[in-house]
Amino acid sequence: MEKVSEDQARAEVNAWLDAKRVKPPKREAHSDAIDDLVYAMVYGQLTLDSETNEFNQKLDVPIEGEGASTTDLKYKFRLRVNETHSKMKGVKANDPDGRVMALVAALTGKPRAIIGKLDTGDYSVAQSIALFFL
């Protein structure tokens, strides 16, 4: 069931991209990721706090387990290099999946081990957000 219209969701995603100062060439290169974010908003999986520009992702498949339970992820609007550096420790330069997982961990403040437990559908939304921090 739709939570917001596609037009409203697209306007919110574009406002977020504008606030991040994402240039048109990067938007064109990642148009599929933009569409993923729009549809995640349309169906209520993703919301945007207009005051802080932080995305909140309601997980379709919550993570449950010993000390690793979560039903949602909140994404920072800005990241500093040192925040990503600490999460990248132990990730090989030739491991793109590991690097994206570490970036999502830095964006959400969650350990990489928790991000690694995301359902693939939930992870695809996380990847779409992370693309704009590369």
The full set of domain ranges for the chain reads 6-133
Q: Phi-psi category of 109—alpha, beta or left, where left has phi over 0 and alpha has psi -120 to 50? A: left
Q: Is the pTM of this model over 0.85?
A: yes
pLDDT digits (tens, 9 = 90+) for 15-28: 999 999 999 999 99
Residue 53 half-sphere exposure, CB side, CA atoms within 13 Å? 13
Angle between helices 31-42 and 120-130 (to 10 degrees): 120
pLDDT digits (tens, 9 = 90+) for 61-92: 999 877 678 999 999 999 999 889 889 888 89
Q: Tell me the helix, strand and coil percentages in the chain, rounded to 5.
A: 55, 15, 30
Q: Which residue has the tokens 């990248």?
A: 88
